[in-house]
Amino acid sequence: QVQLEESGGGLVQAGGSLRLACAASGRTFTRGSMAWFRQVPGKEREFVATIGWISGATGYADSVKGRFAIYEENAKNTVYLQMNSLKPEDTAVYYCARTESLRITVNSDDYAYWGRGTQVTVSS
């Protein structure tokens, strides 16, 4: 079984930065990828960024390209999301997720494991 725990959310002014962390435990990862999604009330969960656990290949939603960066620290089984130049529209609950799929995927249905989420609020 895999457990994912997010941390690092909070309140920040527009233009500011936050770094989210997702610590994974329960099983050693040998393939697949990790991702960040976000969700606001009344809307579907939205893909933000993903990273291949072994390859390190990354993918981003157009809305965050150039502002967010996903990276991993394999020794700690931790994935980070560095968020810069934050905008009020980035306000959401951010979720960490894991898939065993060998291909990069932005579809939330492909992710079997999820954290509980961390709130990010960007004030204008």
Reply yes or no on whether the pLDDT at 45 is more than 90: yes
When mean pLDDT is compared across 26-40, 63-77, 104-118, the lowest value belongs to 26-40
Name the DSSP letter for residue 26: S
Q: How high is the pLDDT of residue 79?
A: 96
- Going 77 to 85 to 115 to 100, the CA torsion angle's sign is negative
CA angle at 122 for the pair 121 and 124, rounded to the nearest 5°: 140
Reply yes or no on whether the pLDDT at 28 is more than 90: no
Reply yes or no on whether the pLDDT at 1 is more than 90: no
Average pLDDT (111-121) is 97
Environment class of 114 (CB within 10 Å of its CB; exposed 0-12, middle 13-18, buried 19+): middle
Q: Which long-range contacts (CB under 8 A, 24 or more apart) does 52-61 make?
A: 52/104, 53/29, 54/30, 57/104, 59/104, 59/106, 61/106
What is the overall mean pLDDT for the chain?
A: 94
Average pLDDT (96-109) is 91
Reply yes or no on whether the pLDDT at 58 is more than 80: yes
Q: How high is the pLDDT of residue 55?
A: 86
Give dist(CA 52, CA 19) in Å, integer: 19
